[in-house]
A and B are shown apart, each in its own frame.
Chain A
Amino acid sequence: MTPIPLTPAVFHILLALAEGPLHGYAIMQSVEASSGIAMGPGTIYGTLERLEVSGFVKEVPAARRDRRRTFALQPAGRAALQDEARRLSRLAALVRAKRLVPRES
């Protein structure tokens, strides 16, 4: 079964969480740093809630003295992220095969 593409918001959030549990604001900063996409907190938390329903992420107890809600990637989420990464790299290979971008040395 071909995996369903992830929405950009989902993909970037999962990607940000791949390095370890983060709270919402840190996710926002990480996404912005890595991709330049500006996401509002409402988008982040809304997506996080949906991802939690699907079992992709889980809320974990926050670090001491930080009362913000922190989320961690779950195995299902990691699998979805890997599927998406594979899908993207296939797409990237396709693009390269058509010589649309110069081959990286």
Chain B
Amino acid sequence: MREHRFSRATYRLLLRTYPREFRERFARDLDSDFLEMARSRGGASAWRRALSDLFRAVPLTASDAAAERARTARIAGPIAPPGEPVMRSLLFDLRHGLRALVKAPAFTIITILTLALGIGANSAIFTLVNAALVRPLGFQDPERLMLIYESIPGSGRDRFGVSPADYLDLLQYQQSFSNLGAYRTTTVELSGGREPEQVDAATITSSLFDVLGVKAAEGRTSLADEDQSQSSVAIISQSLATRHFAGRSAVGATIAIDRQPFTVVGVMPAGFEFPRRGASSNATPADVWMPLVFTPSERQARGSNYNLSVIGRLREGPPPAQAVADLSALAIRIRDNYPADLPLKITIGAVPLREELSGQARRPLLILFGAVALVLLVTCANVANLILSRSLARQRDIGVRAALGAGRLRLFQVLLSEALILAVFGGALGLVLGYWGVRAIPAIATTSLPGASTISLDWRVVAFTSVIALGSAALFALVPLAAGLRRDLHDLLREGATRATGGRRQHRVQGTLVVTSVAFAFILLVSAGLFVRSFRNLVTVASGVGTTNVLSAQVRLPLTGYSDATRTRWFYRTLEERLRALPGVRAASVASDLPLEPDGERRAATVENPTGPGLKQAVAVTWVQGDFFGSYGIPLIAGRTFSADEQRENRNVAVVNKRLADAYWTGENPVGKRLKWGLTAASPAPWLTVIGVAGDVVDGPPGSDPPIHVYVPYAQATDALLTSPVVDLGRRMMTGIRGDQDAVTFAPTVRAIVAELDPALALSDVQTIEQLERDRSAPQRFSAVAVSGFGVGALLLAAIGLYGVLAVSVSERRREIAVRLALGAQPSGVLRLTVREGMTLVAIGLGVGAVGAISATRLLKASLFETNVYDPLTFATVPVVLGVVALAASYLPARRAAAVDPIVALRD
């Protein structure tokens, strides 16, 4: 019975339109007949018949049947005469409406397309909003989850993670949360399968998945027994399990993570995303979760490693504000555990997890949502306008029905059915457009959104669209009714002899709708203009790197196999040498941090004898091997870069960026000055001598200020750093090569060279810097393109609306125009008259729009990059564009008015 399952379910749903008694009696037979038809003649034929049934022979309801019986008994026989309508339901009206719409194809097509565009844009954007802001996080009682963070006043950053030592204190002291969990993200090498690959991973405390309240699809989520030992167990994602174990059960199997065997103890359900995107740190969804193990030094160290994300589940009872207050009180207690020579005034705070996750995505999404809501309003205004114009044609129909005794409700139903058809078709088409729209949104624009991996059209989106479509249907049905019923029936019927005209009130309504459309189009176009300017400002701001022909790739060495610092140094030095030797390569380097990307190390540094005010922020530090500045096109402003000797052994030298030099050695030559790691000059780190000054490079989101930066040779990285089990800073390096031609062509060669050195290594993040720059500004590009699209859409809709109103007005006033022409008016005068009528509406719309735009663009301020929200150019261009388009839209009906032949028009 599995055949035609979907068809049958749909058919059963359709059967609901039959009266209940009938259904109860015949549903089973109808169903089995349908199946038999589908079997013997195929589904299409069965459907043809079933549908024609619905429209032809809807059985009577019980009360109808009684009335029918009484009626037919009175007339000659028991059987209704042929041609007698037997249904009086909504379905009848629908059929009637459908016929009426088919007879007016231009109106129908324009209305449906208009609706579809508005609804399509709306559902596409709502899909994003839904994924990022509405859809549940997938955690149990997520409103009780808080993200806990530490702050260090004067650090130049408002929020850090929690350090392991402080986390352990928190665990011990805190009372407000029933439990805490901590995690941090990393990447690991997964091997043993076909190709070695780099996968995103998270190390988590055993309590974490309990705190979140999530369950494994298979196996367990608890790493409890393993927490404090180096025992090798892991939980993996469904997608990794499918990819790696293809059908076999993953639980109990062994995988090699960073060349160590790990036993899989659990598989998380499909669609489980953790860590969620959108958080300010540790925000890359993992495929592998491993126990978080603190090293003995981590357990002790204060004032460093602020890198844990900590989530707490609130106890029942006290409000979140209480928990936040408790945490700040705890911070003071934890400060006492800091060594006396480390006077860090740390504070501890917490925010609701949901707020943290949607915080960054919220504003751009809500702006898009606002824009699209305006488009929908313009759409509705336009459709109302179209229907209103059409209601002229139906006014006689309504008048006759009313005269024959139809109640208002009945009339409403007649009109509603027509609007319903438009809404259903428009809504369905809109949903299709929305589906395509979501596909068309570039993936890169949404990767920063929380829930991006789960973006899809789901029932909420469908419900949202249906509500919009049906709501507008009801609204549209009211419009002609309100316009029609107010008119005197008597007039209406008498007028029918000639033709119905709209009347003053309807003209005013339609005029208002046009003004509204123009005003909204104005606001959207101004917003679009501002976004485009902001985007241009953003991409033209200098990032500090030369982007042509540069290819980068990440080569990460697992600790197993590279536990010897000498071997690691040898590896990267050899890699750089071989890359440099490639034909067509101008410069090659290996570095611990990719320019532009904020993934590098930040450290506290102390400058010897500063003469400038300095900057209250941590120093970005990059370990480099080879011609780093050459490979990324970073200019050397003063001094020199590292010599071969300095690259081979530790000579304690550094290159600083211009910003650092300007801030600390104002007006002096920085070359020869010294600085060291640590908060004070008393730190045990050696002094580093500045040998050169490099140009500033952005190391954060596009448009952000470059940090103060120190570059040191990779030879100066300590053994402890290279062999740290906690951070892979010194073993996760980026190659950078600048070539003579398109750098992408080097990708296979780089892969081959790495494989030559260690065939088990996986290369990741292979990309050109050009690509990287484009990707970085993708969200802004998307905003600019989307808002521009909406602006142009609104412009077209407004033009269509204006055209429609004027066309109706002209055809109504044919007689008046003919009389004028007959009395000697010039066609050019008539043309001017009509154009003036349109432009008056446009002028009012522009005025209203300007006021609206001035207040609306203020909301955009925070999303614009170095752009004046009252940008004169934008505010001057938009009315001109709107005016020209409106002029064209008025000209067409005006020309028709001028072409009226008085003799023909007056004879009619």
Contact = CB atoms under 8 A, between A and B. Distances in A.
A102 interface: no
A69 B29 contact: yes
Interface size class of B (residues with CB under 8 A): 20 to 34
Nearest to B27: A45
A53 interface: yes
Nearest to A67: B28
Nearest to A25: B33
Given A45-B22, A46-B58, A6 B79 contact: yes
Contact of B36 (A1, A10, A25, A56): A25
Nearest to A10: B79
Interface in A1-55: 1, 3-10, 23-25, 28, 38-43, 45-47, 49-50, 53-55
Task: Count chain A CB atoms within 10 A of each CB in B18, B58, B65, B82 and give the residue with the most.
Answer: B82
A47 B504 CA distance: 51
A80 to B, nearest CB: 7
B76 A1 contact: yes
Nearest to A23: B29
Given A25-B36, A53-B69, A42 B79 contact: no
Interface string B46-79: 0001101110111110000100110010011111
Nearest to B32: A68
Contacts of A53: 65, 69
Contact of A54 (B36, B54, B58, B79): B79
Contacts of B30: 41-42, 45
A64 to B, nearest CB: 17
Contacts of A49: 22, 25-26, 59, 65
A41 to B, nearest CB: 4
State the main secondary structure of chain B at its contact with A: helix
A40 B14 CA distance: 14
Contacts, number: 91
B59 A5 contact: no
B57 A40 contact: yes
B26 A7 contact: no
B34 interface: yes
A42 B76 contact: no
A43 B26 contact: no
A40 B76 contact: no
Given A45-B29, A50-B65, A68-B29, A40 B49 contact: yes
Contacts of A6: 79
A6 B22 CA distance: 22
A41 B59 CA distance: 11
A23 B28 CA distance: 12
A23 B26 CA distance: 11
A63 B22 CA distance: 22
B346 interface: no
Given A40-B50, A41-B33, A42-B18, A54 B78 contact: yes
Contacts of B26: 24, 45, 49, 69
A41 B50 contact: yes
Nearest to B65: A53
Contacts of A5: 81-82
A80 B76 CA distance: 13
Interface string A53-75: 11110000000000111000000
Task: Count chain B CB atoms within 10 A of each CB in A10, A24, A46 and give the residue with the most.
Answer: A46
Nearest to A54: B78
B87 to A, nearest CB: 10
B60 A50 contact: yes
Task: Count chain B CB atoms within 10 A of each CB in A24, A43, A80 and give the residue with the most.
Answer: A43
B59 A42 contact: yes
A54 B82 CA distance: 16
B330 interface: no
B73 to A, nearest CB: 9
Contacts of B72: 54
Contacts of A47: 57
A7 B59 CA distance: 15
Contact of A43 (B53, B69, B81): B53
A54 B60 CA distance: 14
A42 B29 contact: no
Contacts of A3: 77
A47 B57 CA distance: 8
B843 interface: no
Contacts of B76: 1, 4
B256 interface: no
B57 A42 contact: yes
Interface in B874-906: none
B566 to A, nearest CB: 84
Contacts of A45: 22, 25-26, 29-30, 59
B429 interface: no
B70 to A, nearest CB: 11
B80 interface: yes
Given A38-B49, A40-B49, A46 B78 contact: no
Contacts of B29: 23-25, 41, 45, 68-69
Given A1-B76, A25-B36, 6 more contacts: A4-B81, A8-B82, A41-B37, A41-B53, A53-B69, A67-B28
Interface of B: 18, 22, 25-26, 28-30, 32-34, 36-37, 49-50, 52-54, 56-60, 65, 68-69, 72, 75-82
Question: Which 7 residue pairs spanning A and B have beta carbons closest together?
Answer: A40-B53, A42-B53, A46-B59, A54-B78, A43-B57, A4-B77, A40-B49
Interface of A: 1, 3-10, 23-25, 28, 38-43, 45-47, 49-50, 53-56, 67-69, 80
12 contacts: A5-B81, A6-B79, A7-B79, A7-B80, A8-B82, A9-B57, A25-B36, A42-B57, A43-B57, A45-B25, A50-B80, A54-B72
